Amino acid sequence: MIYKCDLSCYKVLREKMHQLQINMYPFKFNYRGNKFFVAAYSISKNERTELTQYALFHLIFMKQGKLDDTYELYINSREIMDFNLTELRKYFGIEFDSKGISFLNAFCRALITQCPPNIEPFEDEELLKVEKYSLCNKLGVDPDHCYRLAIMRLPQPNKRNPNRYQLALRLFPNASKQYKNAVDVTYRFTSNPDEEVSEEIAIERFIKNERKRKSKHRNEL
């Protein structure tokens, strides 16, 4: 099913996210007296499929206190895209209405009114947890066991994964800013706490490897 509604505020949100080079923005979402979180992922051209080729956002809803209980929607500035009405009702606790789907209008209004008007730094512990949990799941990393491992340069023409970079903004706060414009520099994480290194050591090792790489390149010329 597709439901038409004016979601142009998410187009504005996406533009602001791109300016700050972040791929996902978490926010709180209250609906019918229940509290949820939303991990709003901007959809890139490379991520689009036949079904989501016109999508702007991949919204992942999570229940407060049970982040692994999720519901996913794709939206653009004009509609909620291809979704299952029964599954949406079930997730948000909406009883069947024999009169039709009028509740969708209220759901769209909630999406609009609770769309973040600005991208602002946040230190809210719940949102920080949601951000880490969702990014780690996207990357196939255990959110409860995610530690710094290394900084590395990708071979051309590869570019860093935007979700990996956003996670690095938290775990490698200095390096990720220092190499912000180096889109071929990426970050590695480990689930083993014994392998974790300080950010200072990770930067030192990266600089050392960079010197070796440049020296090798000069010798090959």
Tally of CA atoms within 13 A in the half-sphere of 138 that contains its CB: 22
pLDDT tens, position by position, 26-36: 999 999 899 99
Encode pLDDT of 161-170 as tens digits. 999 999 999 9
Query: What is the per-residue pLDDT across 67-121, written as a single tens digit (0 to 9) for each?
Result: 999 999 999 999 999 899 999 999 999 887 765 677 889 999 999 999 999 888 8
pLDDT score at 214: 87
| Amino acid 192: pLDDT | 95
Instruction: Say if residues 138 and 190 touch (Cβ distance below 8 Å).
Output: no
Residue the block writes with tokens 């889109």: 183
pLDDT tens digits, residue range 31-65? 989 999 999 999 977 777 776 788 999 999 999 99
pLDDT cut 90: percent of the chain above it: 76
pLDDT of residue 180: 93
Point out which residues pair with 80 in neighbouring strands: 3, 75
Please classify residue 212 by burial: count the beta carbons closer than 10 Å to its beta carbon, then call 0-12 exposed, 13-18 middle and 19+ buried: exposed
pLDDT confidence of residue 207? 96
Residue keyed to tokens 């947890």 = 129
